[in-house]
Amino acid sequence: MNKFDGYFCHALVRFNIENMKHGILSLFILLLFACESNEDKAGRFFLMGNNSLAEGNFKEATRLYTEALQKNPKMKEAFNNRGVAYYKDKKYTEAIVDYTKAIKEVDAYYMDAWRNRADAYYATGLYDDALKDLLFLGEAYPDSAWVDFNAGLNFIAKKDYKRAINAFDKSLDKDSSNVEAVINKASAYYLFGYYDQANRFLDDAEKLDPSLANIYNTRALIATDKGNYDEALIEVNKALELEINNPYFNNNRGYIHLMTDQLEQAEKDINLGIKGDPQNGWAYRNKGIFYFMTDKFDDALRNFEQAGLYDESIPKLDYYWGATLIKLNRAGEACPKLKASVDAFENEGRALYEQHCGGI
């Protein structure tokens, strides 16, 4: 808007103020909005987008933030918040693009976008990229317990349990009251195979906040691994009392039912696990085990293949996959799977490999 446009605009506004008494209110409003700068219009769309985001209307929020950016392409808050809307709508790739635009095209030190991009990278399995963003954030905020906590989550996802424990220790040094860090530290010890240490930290977490379901779910996982299925069932039921619709807890209980030959209950719980998270490879593994135990080997194989698409490193997946192929008279395909099971130190896989694949 040049100086003459501005003068003309203000003149029109004054004209309408003088003539409102004659009923020309609609013309006044129209001219008032016509006089807004693009920055003002962008701000108005941005605020409306925030309202839609708060209401959970993510598609409308995305549209309104896009309108804001059309008016002001350098509005970093609109890029960031549109990224948040995409993220909440599970459109993680689009979210990453927007966070990156806020950083690269507007403000290289816009920390909200760095933090949100780290979360989006984690959600898409880009753990190394998430850790790079967290490293940058850690340099900017060396006292941040949040940064170390989220680094720990990424290290667990990468199965780098030693570094995960170290990250959670750093987080707890900065905020000893963060019970989630204690629970995840216990989980890292469990996944590392140190059950006693895991249980000790779960006891500490329960003292801090006994209402957190993951305490009992992790205890159930430990008891399951040790073959203590009665204890495992008690613990997972405690978890489900606190979070009745948690698909991961339902799936874990389904596996316990499989191991105790309660197949009808197992199928019900596993199906709830898949319904709650259709990309949970562990649930497809368990569904495959269910079909294997009921002699439906084609269905079992289909579920093991589906599980492998999401995570090839799930314990006992290769063993059951290979065992199913043996049942289908496809030993040539089974032996590489059974060898992978042997390499993972699974005794069941070793026995079957020696029997069908010529030994070790």
The predicted structure's pLDDT at residue 351: 86
The predicted structure's pLDDT at residue 17: 40
Query: What is the C-alpha to C-alpha distance for residues 268 and 145, in angstroms, rounded to an integer?
Result: 40
Q: Where are the domains of the chain?
A: 1-35
Asked if pLDDT for residue 338 goes beyond 80, the answer is yes
The predicted structure's pLDDT at residue 347: 83
Query: What is the C-alpha to C-alpha distance for residues 221 and 201, in angstroms, rounded to an integer?
Result: 14
Tokens representing 195?
């059950």
The predicted structure's pLDDT at residue 10: 36
The predicted structure's pLDDT at residue 355: 87
Tokens representing 219?
């205890």
Tokens representing 248?
């991961």
The conformational region for residue 280 under phi > 0 = left, psi -120 to 50 = alpha, else beta, is beta
| pLDDT per position as a tens digit, 114-130 | 999 999 999 999 999 99
Asked if pLDDT for residue 27 goes beyond 50, the answer is no
78 confidence band (pLDDT: 50, 70, 90):
very high
What percent of the chain has pLDDT above 70? 89
| pLDDT per position as a tens digit, 250-262 | 999 999 999 999 9
Tokens representing 278?
């259709």
pTM: 0.82
| pLDDT per position as a tens digit, 135-185 | 999 999 999 999 999 999 999 999 999 999 999 999 999 999 999 999 999
Question: 185, exposed or middle or buried, with CB in 10 Å at 0-12, 13-18, 19+?
Answer: buried
The predicted structure's pLDDT at residue 360: 52
Asked if pLDDT for residue 87 goes beyond 80, the answer is yes
358 confidence band (pLDDT: 50, 70, 90):
confident
The predicted structure's pLDDT at residue 34: 55
* Sequence-ordered list of residues with C-beta below 8 angstroms from that of 351, at least 6 positions apart, any chain: none
Asked if pLDDT for residue 24 goes beyond 80, the answer is no
